[in-house]
Amino acid sequence: MTKSNLPSEELRSYCLSLVEIKALRIFNVIECRSFLFLPVFMTVSDEIAVFTCLNEQELAEVEKIIRRKLKLIRQVSKEELFDLIDYVYSKLGLKLETAKTEKPQISHPVIPELLASKEGELLKNLLEYQVSNSISDLYFVPLKSGVEVSIKTAMNTTSKSTELLSEEAYSKILNILKVLSNLNFATSAPYLEGSFRLTLFGNQYSFRVSIVSTLHGKTTTIRQLSRSEMLDLTELTPIKSQIGILLELLKQPGKLKFIAGPMGSGKTTLLYAVLKQFAKTNFVITIEDPPEIDLEEICQIPVRKDFDYACALKAVLRHNPDHIALGELRDSQTLKTAEQACALGHSILATIHAGDLVAFRTRIEALSGNWDLLKPNITCVVFTRLYPKICQKCRIVDLKNSELENKTLFTSPGCERCSFTGVVGKILIFEIYSGGSSFQLEGLSFKEQCASLARKGLIRIA
Ligand SMILES: [Zn+2]
């Protein structure tokens, strides 16, 4: 790759002298950074003249994705390119704003076109199926003979497609996903992670994408993230008495509060729902890796390689927020900083990987080493669980079990609404322990909550 010899200022003014608003308007900054080029002007043959750090071959790959002809007019280094993109767009940003009134600017001009392709349609159909059936994960697994598409159902079982996807179609879907998630598709990195938002059925949904190289190609997981408007505590948990206890403990000033649970138990969902509630009257800052849901009312800080949890936490203390939330507590330095922050009267909420009190203590001891010193600083620990929700359309009284338990219990044979699985969506419940000399259960235990939910016909007792 040839590195430009021009000093930055000179390169900037040279680039600026060539740039036409018309070309800039075709892409936004995020797209330029993801495609690794800067559109400069339109040639007479309607090609987009670009500054880029890609070579001709890589540029040809980009052309296929954006379905536009590109003309390399200047090769620059990646650092120079990013500098130029920021410089040119900020310099001409004002003109772009005014240009809006003449012609509406489309934020992602390439995406609707991509989704209109055959593979784009297929991906959209799969995502629509995923959101309408509350499916958490959608997988693409490359096998020797083709690519298998499968889903993780609400019952945590995997259901596989009967037909395999061709490698060619899958490679196109991968490219679309990379564009949607602003991932660098020219990279040969063995692991890529990103997220995107898409409007389906008139609502906006968020997805997280993870792509990993395997023996037979790249395997992809698309996880559906909870939507901001779904983060209503009363919607998430049908046991209202628990909500009052939870909020009362979590909103106490100072000290550490934990939301704990195994992987996929709804810790982050509960954390977000609580923060959303707090943000109505309080200043809330979160530090996350990365923020899973974009919440307008909350100030969310993503951690980076050079700005980790501990660094970010130190920095936000100066802002004096009412509540600071940590996406996940997983290193001793962060725990130490959090302890110091609590000593200064700050309220810290953190999620942590631990299924019960014993596991929680083990985790904390592994991080801090001194349980007795830390314990007085913990206001509460909340454990979360997710249960598949019985399909309300096909549910029936479970005569066999009802006789056994001498109570009305329900089951669901399956219908079209629940894709014959008998369940639709999930119910989040939590068990709350307040801190002090020993941890004390506040409110109902998981067992009591499950029994109550089963009697209401919301979940099944296994
Ligand atoms: Zn059903």
Distance 270 CA to ligand 1 centre (A): 26
Q: Which CATH architecture best describes the domain 112-225?
A: 2-Layer Sandwich (3.30)
Position 12, amino acid: R
Distance 457 CA to ligand 1 centre (A): 13
Distance 446 CA to ligand 1 centre (A): 25
C-alpha span between 10 and 228 (Å, rounded): 46
Contact between residue 238 and residue 430 where contact means Cβ atoms under 8 Å apart? no
List the end-to-end C-alpha distance of the chain, in Å, as a whole number: 62
Instruction: Give me the residue spans of the domains in the chain.
Output: 8-105, 112-225, 229-455
Distance 135 CA to ligand 1 centre (A): 15
Contact between residue 39 and residue 68 where contact means Cβ atoms under 8 Å apart? no
Residue ranges, the chain, pLDDT below 50: 1-2, 94-107
* pLDDT tens digits, one per residue of 375-390: 999 999 999 999 988 9
Q: Which two tokens stand for residue 48?
A: 């987009």
C-alpha span between 183 and 136 (Å, rounded): 22
pLDDT score of 109: 53
Distance 154 CA to ligand 1 centre (A): 13
| ω into 290 cis (within 30 of 0) | yes
Q: Whole-model pTM?
A: 0.67
C-alpha span between 325 and 349 (Å, rounded): 5
Instruction: Write out the CATH class of domain 229-455.
Output: alpha beta
Contact between residue 461 and residue 401 where contact means Cβ atoms under 8 Å apart? yes
Distance 410 CA to ligand 1 centre (A): 12
Distance 42 CA to ligand 1 centre (A): 55
Distance 34 CA to ligand 1 centre (A): 42
Distance 228 CA to ligand 1 centre (A): 26
Distance 390 CA to ligand 1 centre (A): 8
C-alpha span between 374 and 377 (Å, rounded): 5
Residue 254 exposed, middle or buried by CB count within 10 Å (0-12, 13-18, 19+): middle
C-alpha span between 177 and 18 (Å, rounded): 32
Distance 402 CA to ligand 1 centre (A): 20
**Residue where the block lists tokens 């940003």:** 93
Q: Which two tokens stand for residue 186?
A: 């020219």
By C-alpha distance, which of 366, 449, 452 is closest to 407? Answer: 452
Residue 353 exposed, middle or buried by CB count within 10 Å (0-12, 13-18, 19+): middle
Residue 101 exposed, middle or buried by CB count within 10 Å (0-12, 13-18, 19+): exposed
**Which backbone phi and psi does 258 adopt, to 5 degrees?**
-120, 140
pLDDT score of 94: 45
